[in-house]
Amino acid sequence: MSDGGDSSSDNPGCSTGTSAKSGDRQMEKARVSKTSAILWHAHQNDAAAVRKLLEEDPSLVNARDYDNRTPLHVASLHGWVDVAKCLLEFNADVNAQDRWKNTPLADAEGEKKPAMIKLLKSNGGLSYGQNGSHYEQKVVSPPLPNKCDWEIDPSELDFSNSSTIGKGSFGEILKVYWRGTPVAVKRILPSLSDDRLIIEDFRHEVNLLVKLRHPNIVQFLGAVTERKPLMLITEYLRGGDLHQHLKEKGALSPSTAVNFAMDIARGVAYLHNEPNVIVHRDLKPRNVLLVNSSADHLKVGDFGLSKLIRVKNAHDVYKMTGETGSYRYMAPEVFKHQKYDKKVDVFSFAMILYEMLEGDPPLAHYEPYDAAKYVAEGHRPIFRAKGYVPGLKELIEECWSEDMHKRPSFLEILKRLEKIKDHLPSEHHRNFFSS
C-alpha cells in the first residue's frame, strides 16, 4: 500500500548534494595531506621529493601551515639551499610572511645561514619581521610609567558597601571591594588632587610600595594615578590597627608583646636592608596592622613619610625633614632637627614595645608635642608594669638611647627577642609564630 519508497532514491538532488560534499571533503583532505608532505620534505632537505610534488601540483609552492609558514620559510630556516632553489624555480613567494610577520630572509638571518641569505637576496628577498620566529632578538622595553601593570581602572573598585577605616588631612582610607575582594583604598581628597606636593608624596609612596615584598609589610596591590581622585590600593587586614587593639585590650602578656614585637622587627629589618634602606619615619601603633581578629600576625604599613636612601657607609646619617612623623613616638634627633639615620625607627619601636607592655601610650599624661619635647630634653617614660621578663626592659632602654649609634639594629633586636622568647615561662608560650 505504500506509495513511497526509500527517500534517498526518490530525491536524487539530496544524493547528489551529499556526494558533492563528500567529494569536497576528500579533495580538502588530499590538499592538507599534500601540504603536510611538501612542508615535511622541505624540512628533511629532500629536494627531489619537493620537485615531484610541485610537478604534480605547482600551487603547493606557496602552501601554508597553521602558522602561515610556507615551504620556503622551512627551507630558509634550516639553510637548505637546493630545496629553496627548487621552490624559487616554481615561483615561490620570496617575501611571504608567517603569523609572526617574518619573511624567509628574516628566518635565514635569524639562524645565520649565509648561503641562504645570499640566494634569497639575489631573488628579491626582503628582511622584515622579528628576525626569526624561533627567538626574539629585540630588546623589550620596560613598561612606561603611565602604563604600569599595577595601574587599576577605578571602575573595578566597588564603593557601594564601602566603610571608612581612617581619615587624615590628605584624604581617607576606605574598605572597598576590588574584583570581589575586600581591599583598603587610600583616596586623596579631590580638593587636593591638584596640589603638587600632595601628588609628589602620593607618587613617592606608590613607587616605594611597588618594590616591597615581605610577610610583615602590608602588600601593595595597585594604584589609580591616571584619573582623579588618586587612589592607592593595598590588602585589607581584618584585625584593624595596633592602636585600637591596645585601646580595647590594655597591656599585653609578655609572650604576646614579644611575638608582636618580632613581627614589627622583621618587617622593619627588611626595610633597613642595605644598600637601599627605607627609613619608615612614622612607626606607631596606628601604622601597625593586625592580619585578623585573632591578632596572631602583624604587618607594618603606611609609607607616606618613608624615605628611600642609598647607603654607602653603614653609619651614614642624613639631613632629612625635622619633626617628621608622630610626636609621641618621635626620636629626639628628629624633633631637634638634627641629622639622623635609620635608627629613628628603632627609637619608635621602643616606644611601641613599651606601650604594648604598659597598656598606655608612652607619656600619656602629656600632649603629643609636649611628650616629644620632654623626650628631646633627655627624659624617658617610666616602667610601671610588673610583667616585664628578664631582658625586655634592657632592650627597650637600649632602643630609645639618646645616642642613636648605641641603639641596636633590627637584626640584633630580633636575636635578642628570640632569646627572651626562649626564656619565657612555659605558660606564656602561645606559639603564634611557629615559622
Catalytic residues: 282
E-strand ranges in 217-262 read: 220-224, 231-235
Q: Cβ(87)–Cβ(71) under 8 Å?
A: yes
For residue 318, what are the contacts with CB-CB under 8 A and spacing of at least 6?
307, 309, 339, 340, 341
State the residue for C-alpha cell 608560650: 429
Q: How many CA atoms, within 13 angstroms, populate the side-chain half-sphere of residue 417?
A: 26
DSSP 101: -
Residue 186 counted as an annotated binding residue: yes
C-alpha cell at 326: 608622630
The CA–CA distances, whole Å, from 342 to 251, 294, 346, 405 equal 28, 31, 7, 10
Q: At CB < 8 A and 24+ separation, what contacts does 114-117 make?
A: 115/79, 115/81, 116/75, 116/76, 116/79, 116/80, 116/81, 116/84
Kindly give the residue spans of alpha helices, DSSP state H, lying in 340-430.
Answer: 343-358, 368-376, 392-399, 410-422
**259 vs 433: CA distance, rounded Å:** 7
Q: How far is CA 392 from the centre of its chain?
A: 37
Element (H, E) at 243: helix 242-249
List binding-site positions: 186
List binding-site positions for ATP: 186
